[in-house]
Each structure stands twice: as C-alpha cells, then as structure tokens.
Structure 1
Amino acid sequence: MTPPGTGCVAVIGENVADAVVEPAAENDTALRLRVFPGGGPANTAVALGRLGTPTRFLGRLPQGVFGDLFAERLQKSAVDLSFAAAASEPATLTIASVADDGQASYVFYAAGTADWQWNAQELLPSHFDGVACVHAGSLALVMEPGGNLIEKLLDTVRERATVSIDPNIRTALVSSQRYRSRIAQWCRLADIIRMSEDDAAELFPGLAPEDVLMAPRLADVPLVIITRGERGVVASFRQDVVEVPGVVVPTVDTIGAGDAFSAGLLHWLYQAGHLGGRIDHLDIETVRRALTFGARVAALTCTAPGADPPWASRLTNEATNLLP
C-alpha cells in the first residue's frame, strides 16, 4: 500500500481509429463514417488522465492524420506521452456498427499495423520507474511480436507495481482459443483482471459469471471483475463475491465503457493509496466502493458518442462522494 498520490499509472497497448457507421439518409448509397480516436488501452489512459490520476501511456503512435488524432486526444487528457514510440507502420482501423440499443460490433483492419510491432528497446523496464500500477490488455497482449514482449515486461515490473489486465476479447481478429491459451499466464501476472460478460463467456464457455469468478484458473488473482453493462458488476476479492448495481443513463453507445470502468476503478484505488504492489490491504467493502465508482464512470461514457470518458468535473456529487 502506497501513500495516496504516489507515482503514476502506466498503460500499455493500442490506439485504434474507431470509424463509426452513421445512419444513411434516404436513398443515400454512400457509407458515412465518423472517426473517433479509440483503442481499449488508450481509452483507459484517457479516462484516467481526465479523472486526475497521473497517467503514462506506452503505445506506438503512427505517423499522419490518425497518429496526430491519437496524440492530441491523449495530450489534451493530461496523459504523459514521453515514453510512447514513434512508428512508421499505419494505424489500426476498426469499423464500428451501433445497434438501436447502443451495443457496438466491430470489424478490424489490423494486419501489420503500428500497435503490435514493439521491439525490446521500446519497452525498457526503466520506462516504468516511479510507476504504481501497470494496466495492459486488449489486442496488444495477444498480437505478436509485441504481446510476448509486454508479458515479459509485466513479469519484470510486477514486484514493485500493481498489475491490471483487461483481455477485451476481439474474436473478429483473434480466436477465442488463442486467448484461452494465454489466460493462465495472465492470471500469474495479474493482481486485477477485469473482463466483460462476453469476454468471460469466450474464456470460460458454459459457465455463468458467478461460476467464472470461482474458476480454478482465476484462484490466484486477488481481484477478478466481470462487468455486465446496465446489469452492473460482479466481482470476487480473494474468493469473497461482491455485486454492485448498474447505473441507468440515456445510452448513445457503449463504445469504451469497459475501458472507462477500469479507469474509474484504478483511479479510486490510486486515490486510496492501494496501488504500488500487491493489493493486500483491501477489504470487501473497499472493493465495493471502488467498483461502484468505476460503474459510474462507465455509465457516463455511454452518454456520449465514441469512447469519450468524463472529466472529473462532470461527475455528480454522488459519484464524487464515492471517492476515498
């Protein structure tokens, strides 16, 4: 346990250009897209920065208009890009379609793009000096050659920094089997694993969320969290189960909601001084408060198009009162 406000949170992973399909006008045969900066890890970094947590982003920033778009969003959200790498490869692109209920589905264009081409000199352990927590996940953990390098780095830094992992499974690009082959390694590395209900179904087919929390492969992870959208969050802290309700909001789309939840959770734990190693000093009621704050941040993200998490000033007094 570290004093509140000590160090920073480092986020490793991808930026993605989220091209959202817009409704077509009558008799219009053109496909109209509105492009937002996205990518699960980048979304989490942006949300952390906007909440006021000192945040460092390690990603590979492409050249050109998409790279400029990514960098501007991160910098305007108070995220430190000192250790981001300049990349010559193109940006990763996804086409997102939003259903009437706000749920998004994705098609990825990611072969040979910048986000996965890490080399060892771009991910030095010294880049994590002064870091209280490292958050990683999404495609960056399974796309090679970068995925293996990130896992090795997490192994190196975990003795001095809390490790948070979000699988954020994308079966349109990577098979469920490949994710399942990596889950044992992630459980060995992680203090916190957050997955969506859909992620849990892919990783542990046939199990209800409550049963996933007790899966033997997850037994050594202190805090396992499953987010379920408007139905709230269920989690296990050292085998004690806690559940918090969802927050009802007018939903525009759900893009980036899970990423914002992770940011809200880590922000709360950072403010309370619980990041900086193993999370040994938590108790179940402290976990409940952190989950509740994360759920509020996720809900507010759903009220705007694209992955546009809230600034601290936008949180209601109710959410602010949840802080330690």
Structure 2
Amino acid sequence: MNPRQITVLGECVADAFAQPSGTSNELALRVQPGGGPANTAVALARLGTPARFLARLSDDVFGRLFRAHLEASGVDLSDAVPAAEPSTLAVAELDALGQAAFSFHAQNTADWQWTAEELARVDLSDTACLHTGSLALVREPGGAVVEDFLAAAAPGATISIDPNVRPLLVRPDVYRARLAHWCGLADVLRLSEDDLELLLPDTSPERACDLWHATGVRLVVITRGAAGALASLDGVRIEVPATQTRVVDTVGAGDSFTAGLLHHLGARGLLGGRLTGLRLDDVAEACAFGARVAALTCSVAGPNPPWQEQLKRSEAVGAV
C-alpha cells in the first residue's frame, strides 16, 4: 500500500557547526539546513512518503538553502509562505559522544510569525497525518495559531506532536502549561527522555505515559538513545531496542525516528483517523523501523536522514 500524504508544520533552522579554521582568532562555521519539523519532512520524503511542509521561508541566504534542500529531498513546498523576516540560526557544539548543545539566534525570525489567514489557505483533504511540534507550538505570536490549526484538522487527520523542548529559547514551564491541551488534540506524542526530564522532572516514563493518556493521547513513544524506546498504546507498554551503529553525531536522530514511525504506520494504512485499528504489534514494528532510520542518521554528520535505497541496502547487509 502506498502511504498517503503527511503534512508537517514547523520551523527550518540553519544548524551551524564550528570547524577548525587554522588560526586562533577566527571561527569557521559549517552550516547545514535543520530544524526538527524540517528534518522530519525531509526524512519522510526520502523514505517514500508524500511529504508536504508548511513553513515560513525567508529569502535570505539560509532560506534559499532550506528551500533547495527540501526540494532536493522531494518535499512539497507548494504551501510554504514566502517570509520577509530572517531565518533562524542555531550554533551547535558537539561533545565527545556526538551530542549537540545549541545556542539559538531566533528573535523575530520567520518561523514564529504564522497568521490565521496563512493557514486558512491550506487544504488538508489529502492529508492522512498532520505532524508538528518543537518551537512552532510555543513561540509567539504564531503558537496559538498553530494550535487552532491542529484543532481544526483533528476531525479528518491523525495528529502527531513532538514537543522537542528547547529551554534556551522557551522556559519548560511554558511547554508544561500547554502539554495537556496538546495531548487532547494529538493521537501520537513522541518525545525524548531529555524532554521528559524537562517536562516532568523525577517522573518515571511509565507514570508520564499514564498522565498523558489520561488527557487524551493514544500513543506515546519516549526515545532513550542507545537504550531504545518505550512505547505505550492506551497504557499497554512495549520496549523496543535501539539499532546499533557507529555514532558520528545525534543531530536529527529523534526527528528521523518520528519520520520512520509515521512512515511505517502510513504505509500500512493506519493513519488518517484516531488510530482505532492500531495494535501493539504495529507499534513495535513501527518503532523498530524508526530506530533503524535514526541509527542511519546518527552514522553521518548533521541532520542527514537516509534515503529509502540506503535503508534497504543497510537492511540487506544486516547492519547500519
């Protein structure tokens, strides 16, 4: 079965990585197109899912980079909004394990300026799933507009949310205040163990899942890096191991996992409603697939998710 369209809404971010410059008084930056929602849209398209990206794209040097990257990956930008504001920039520092810490330059940038009129033009009749998250839901003035868009889309599409907490830009309590509302809108909530600690400090993953189920979300998936993922469907839990790989860095790994999860569910006709036909076996298979996609992303530098052919080759040789 060919997967139906998945629409992703959110930000593009220019991820700048420090590079040795050869002199003591200069810093060279290698810039790659990133941003959690953009990474997810790219990964979906490369896996073969028709992926449409709702973004506000600047015409500055970074915006042109985003557009070229998204289009080269097969992402549909027909509803992207040309934006007068500048693009968002994030400077990344990698530790010895490839984990990235970001500093953001995001004041009054294009990504947060959504208006109701811009989103009212979007036709979701062919969309099986609407995915969003990260900063688009909490940065003003556009956050409330995005929430209203999700509420309007929910009767006809599966809603997926990744909070992707960024405490350097938005205080965690802002996310906490909105999370119950998001769970009332969402069918799928995917977050990392770092997100969990910021949202519900000192709360076990199992307890967190139960709290979020109680507010409405059916499927919760918590990714835990090398420890794999915990998935909870209506309170019934399963643990899925990570796929072993040589880690270059972890940038974009969670976004790739989400794309793999949604792609797998969509390819089996399980998206497009309230997940009423979803079984725990389906969740286990989708999470395992997402783990393979994330592992391949970790095996290369930056947010560079695999193409479908690369994934097939890695599966054929039995290794990532």
| C-alpha distance in structure 2 between counterparts of 1:105 and 1:278, whole Å | 36
**Is 2:191 the counterpart of 1:173?**
no
Contact 2:44 2:260 in 1 (8 A): yes
| C-alpha distance in structure 1 between counterparts of 2:316 and 2:231, whole Å | 22
**Cα gap change, 1:219 to 1:317, in 2 (>3 Å):** farther
| C-alpha distance in structure 1 between counterparts of 2:307 and 2:3, whole Å | 21
Q: What is the CA distance between 1:310 and its match in structure 2?
A: 0.2
Contact 2:184 2:215 in 1 (8 A): no
Aligned to 1:185: 181
Aligned to 1:292: 288
**Cα gap change, 1:6 to 1:301, in 2 (>3 Å):** closer
C-alpha RMSD over aligned residues: 1.7
Aligned to 2:48: 52
Amino acid at match of 2:31: V
Contact 1:132 1:275 in 2 (8 A): yes
Map 1:99-248 onto structure 2 (within 5 A).
99-124=95-120, 126-215=122-211, 218=214, 220-248=216-244
**Cα gap change, 1:320 to 1:200, in 2 (>3 Å):** farther
**Is 2:92 the counterpart of 1:96?**
yes
TM-score of the aligned structures, taking structure 2 as reference length: 0.95
**Cα gap change, 1:98 to 1:131, in 2 (>3 Å):** same
Amino acid at match of 1:162: T
| C-alpha distance in structure 2 between counterparts of 1:164 and 1:124, whole Å | 20
Q: What is the CA distance between 1:65 and its match in structure 2?
A: 1.3
What does the per-residue CA deviation read over 1:195-217, in whole Å, with 9 as the maximum and x for residues that have no partner? 00000111111112232222256
| C-alpha distance in structure 2 between counterparts of 1:208 and 1:158, whole Å | 29
**Cα gap change, 1:5 to 1:308, in 2 (>3 Å):** same
Q: What is the CA distance between 1:135 and its match in structure 2?
A: 0.2
**Is 2:10 the counterpart of 1:18?**
no
Map 1:21-100 onto structure 2 (within 5 A).
21-23=18-20, 25=22, 28-100=24-96
Secondary structure (helix, strand or coil) at the match of 2:123 reads helix
Secondary structure (helix, strand or coil) at the match of 2:136 reads helix
Contact 1:231 1:245 in 2 (8 A): yes
What are structure 1's unaligned runs of at least 5 residues?
A: none
| C-alpha distance in structure 2 between counterparts of 1:217 and 1:68, whole Å | 40
Amino-acid identity (%): 50
| C-alpha distance in structure 1 between counterparts of 2:118 and 2:308, whole Å | 31
| C-alpha distance in structure 2 between counterparts of 1:20 and 1:194, whole Å | 26
Q: Any runs of at least 4 consecutive aligned residues in structure 1 with deviations exceeding 3 A, and if so which?
A: 216-219, 316-321
Q: What is the CA distance between 1:127 and its match in structure 2?
A: 2.6
| C-alpha distance in structure 2 between counterparts of 1:29 and 1:218, whole Å | 55
**Is 2:312 the counterpart of 1:312?**
no
Contact 2:213 2:234 in 1 (8 A): no
| C-alpha distance in structure 2 between counterparts of 1:125 and 1:5, whole Å | 26
| Count of aligned pairs | 318
What are structure 2's unaligned runs of at least 5 residues?
A: none
